[in-house]
Amino acid sequence: MTVQLKAIKRYPVKGMRGMDMPEAKITAHKMITDDRRFVIATKSSTGQDGVYEWARKSNFLQLVNTPKLTELGTEYDEASSTLTILRNGRAICKGNLDQAMGRTVIEDFLTAFLKNDIAGTPKIYSVPDIQFGDMKEPYISVLNLASIRDFGERIVQAEIDPMRFRGNLLIDGLAPWKELEWEEGQIITINDATFRVVHPITRCKATSIHPDTAVSDINVPLMLRKGVNHLYMGMYIEATSNAVIKPGDTLTIT
């Protein structure tokens, strides 16, 4: 069966919902452009110095400590550095994050939106040439939609939204859990882009948050442990060449 790239997603602001991309320009040893470019933090979470380098997700507002963030979707225009925040599919806030006024608009909205959920004032941060993935290395995440379907149908007995797992590349046509048999160093090709397999992605309690309701409704790590005897969903890969990929492209493993 042909393995196909079904969707490409990036998450401009760590903790918020992602956005679909009609194509992605892949650069060797880089994450997808502007994926996890921005983080939200307070002085109590980062200290007085703010954010000036990559740091672990525990330093920022994220789904584990601020589940309400999952109610917010994003659109990001690279050319103008403009972030649009969506709620229920409607734009409710917009600001140019390269300008102080634009950041203030976004931060004022977040302050009001999260007033009952956090201590301190939220600020949005970015650092030149830094992306705030869960790993310091510039990895891209792959989700096998068949594994997610199997997890939902056979183990949870409910439909599972792939958004819980915040993947970059969503693939279909592979048998459930077959991606976990990929070996470190194997080469994956999508269109003319090549990627090196790194390792499976261990899942935490953040995946227990329903992406639409912000309620912790399923203990995903526990269900994974009970159902398949591991905590993995998805794989990390690293780009090793430059190319453009788009949904519909075929994926091959060598």
Closest CA to 26 of 35, 16, 15: 35
Tens of pLDDT, residues 99-135? 999 999 999 999 999 999 998 899 999 999 999 999 9
Residue pair 14/62 in contact by the 8 Å Cβ criterion: yes
252: left (phi over 0), alpha (psi -120 to 50) or beta: beta
Burial environment of residue 187 by CB neighbours within 10 A (0 to 12, 13 to 18, 19 or more): middle
pLDDT tens string 89-100: 899 999 999 999
| Count of C-beta atoms within a 10 Å radius of residue 106 | 23
pLDDT tens digits for 152-202?
999 999 999 999 999 999 999 999 999 999 999 999 999 999 999 999 999
User: b/e for 51-60, b at 16 or more Cβ within 10 A?
Assistant: beebbebebb
Q: Where are the alpha helices (DSSP H) in the chain?
A: 43-46, 100-113, 145-150, 220-228
C-alpha to C-alpha distance for 84 and 134, rounded to whole angstroms: 23
This prediction's pTM: 0.94
d(CA 84, CA 3): 33
As given in the structure block, the two tokens for residue 169 are 């590349």
CA proximity to 76, closest of 7, 22, 11, 6: 11
